[in-house]
Structure 1
Amino acid sequence: MTKSSVSDTEVATAGASAGAAVVRAMYGRELSRIDKGAGDFATAADVEAEKAILAVIRAARPDDAVLGEEGGQQGTAGARRQWLVDPLCGTLNYAVGTMLVAVNVALRDGAATVADPFSGEVFFTDGESARVRHDGSGDALLTPTSATRLVDVNLDPPFPNAPGFRAVDLLAHPEFVARFRPRVVSTTLALAWVAAGKRAAYVTDGGGFTGSVHFAAGIALCRAAGCVVTGIDGGPLEEAGRGLVVAADKEAHALLMSMTGGRGR
């Protein structure tokens, strides 16, 4: 794979697929944990998957910088282009033998790929359209829909918008119970599932979503697929800086805004 022969989308997809292969191969092993503090940790699978992804990016895009979840900032200082890599989204799930994880590779403001190591699904976007490939089969356009009425709600701390907004309170909201059903899964897998029509929406508190190795690929997919992406107040994500709501369509988004106190769009 050389710089001139492949597109950014192909680089992102090849990188995510290489990382997914490592995650899949190491699944079920007893892996030591690398403590990151505040209850967070990585495993050898995170580290090795990131190495595999970086090898792909370096071979195809040697002049680009990379921000990796495990390795931090790497590459040419002041590089115009930067790749964002989360080699294993859902490390806790993975460490306890749960297959709800994803591998994320995104070019900042460009192509992005989310790979599910266990389903074989690879979700990707060139920044304009979003598609899915399953076990090497033909590509299918992602079509968001809120028909499932399933909403993934991230219940992990921190809660910077409490007490005004707490995701856990949403689950007890009478209108939420009447219109939706809650689920909890790994962040990026949940976002990919909204883009693919497997989930109606995803809701989380927090901030720093723009340029995040954890969220960049999933948000790029959802935007390219035509999902509604805002803060919990309904404002543009870049301006809001307050939580994240990704909905499959305007109806689901408006319903969630009425429950979170947002103004809708």
Structure 2
Amino acid sequence: MIDSLALLADDEGAVAAAYAGAGVVRRRYGRRLPRTDKGDGDFTTAADVEAEEAILGVIRAARPDDAVLGEEGGQRGTAAQGGRLWLVDPLCGTLNYAVGNMLVAVNMALAGGAAAVADPFSGEVFFTDGAAAWVRRDGVDTPLAPTSATRLVDVNLGPPFPGAPGFRAVDLLAGREFAERFRPRVVSTTLAPAWVAAGQRAAYVTDGSDLSGSVHFAAGIALCRAAGCVVTGVDGGPPDGAGQGLVAAADADTHRLLMSMIRD
């Protein structure tokens, strides 16, 4: 097993790790799980921790010299300049999961390279090698094809709100033009950016500070970019460095329209 994992390309390693985490999340679903308070209303469960350990096991077997930054365990290993760092969010949507809602994701991203987002309950894994992007269903890979045809826009309404008072996502939803052009959705999980890349959503909008190195968002950003989406911060700049928040749109027209609403 270890020898075969060591031969995997980075994208297949990301898929294998995401599957491992998703298996834990699926198996633990519906059980009463111990919680650990993180403060500010956030918490982690035993499923988060176990899923991260399963993911780490795959990464260690395939790439023992790589560093890992996990939401639950922090950084393990050292990513020297030019080194390889995996960003791991083993269960995005913990509150959803804890109350019996299946809208959750398992996120894996190699900084600047491959990434995977797994839906533990549909069995789908969205993934990229850094250049192109696919979804794997029942062992079959299909290229991701973003489209704005659904008109559905997922908007993250959860705190913090570093853009306020200049920008608040809830104000976007209240705009007349938004209601005329789009239909809002709020799922509170980073499955949403993957759905934009797959053509299941027209766009995704969230407030926040620099998200490019975030364990929550790195995989979704990588997928959207590889699929050909337009990805910026809410300020129109790249979602890194001094950028803020995220606007991931299926096409340039949708992105332009959303940015005009955000600026207004």
Q: Same fold (TM over 0.5)?
A: yes
- Aligned partner of 1:238 in structure 2 is 240
TM-score by length of 1: 0.95
- Kindly indicate whether the alpha-carbon contact (under 8 Å) linking 2:235 and 2:243 is maintained by their aligned counterparts in 1: no
User: Identity percentage over the alignment?
Assistant: 75
1:164 match: 166
CA distance in 1: counterparts of 2:151 and 2:119, whole angstroms? 22
Q: Which runs of 5+ in 2 are unaligned?
A: none
Range 68-77 or range 120-129, more displaced: 68-77
Is 1:140 aligned to 2:142, yes or no?
yes
Which position in structure 2 is the counterpart of 1:186?
A: 188
Match of residue 126, structure 2, among 116, 123, 130? 123
- Measure the CA separation in 2 of the matches of 1:130 and 1:244: 19
Question: Structure 1: which amino acid aligns with 2:256?
Answer: A
Other-structure match for 2:221: 219
The residue type equivalent to 1:20 in the other structure is A
**Corresponding position of 2:73:** 71
> Is residue 102–residue 186 contact of structure 1 (8 Å, CA) maintained in 2?
no
Cα distance between partner residues in 2 of 1:162 and 1:5: 47
Match of 1:253 in 2: 255
What are the Cα deviations for residues 68-124 of structure 1, in whole angstroms up to 9, with x where unaligned? 000000024637111110000000000000000000111110100000000111000
- Asked if the contact 1:233–1:240 (Cα under 8 Å) also holds between the matched residues in 2, the reply is no
CA shift digits 1:171-198 (9 cap, x unpaired): 1101000000110113320000000000
Contact 1:102 1:116 in 2 (8 A): yes
Tell me if the contact between 2:6 and 2:63 (Cα under 8 Å) persists in the aligned partners: no
| Alpha-carbon separation, structure 1, partners of 2:244 and 2:210 | 9
Deviation at 1:239, TM superposition (A): 4.7
What do the CA deviations read for 1:210-264 (whole angstroms, capped 9, x no partner)? 11100000100000000000011222222552221000001111110110018xx
Q: Cα distance, 1:153 vs. partner?
A: 0.4
- Per-residue CA deviation, residues 36-90 of structure 1 (Å, 9 max, x unaligned), is 0111100000000000000000011000100000000002463711111000000
CA contact (8 A) 1:187 1:215 kept: no
Q: AA paired with 1:158? A: P
Please give the per-residue CA displacement for 1:129-178, whole angstroms capped at 9, x wherever unaligned. Answer: 00000132x10000000000000000011111111110000111010000
Question: How many Å apart are 1:16 and its aligned residue?
Answer: 0.3
Mapped to 2, the partners of 1:164 and 1:211 lie a distance apart of: 24
Partner Cα distance (2:208, 2:152) in 1: 21
TM-score (structure 2 length as normaliser): 0.96
- Per the alignment, residue 103 of structure 1 pairs with 106
- Structure 2 counterpart of 1:165, one-letter code: F
Q: Which amino acid aligns with 1:206?
A: G
The question of 1:206 aligning with 2:238 is answered: no
Q: Give the stretch that moved more between structures: 41-50 or 202-211.
A: 202-211
State whether residues 124 and 221 of structure 1, in contact with CA within 8 Å, keep that contact through their aligned partners in structure 2.
yes
SS in 2 for 1:237: coil
Provide the rounded CA distance (Å) in 2 between the counterparts of 1:173 and 1:25. 42
RMSD: 1.3
Structure 2 partner of 1:41: 43
How many residues matched?
261
**Which residue is 1:81 aligned to?**
84
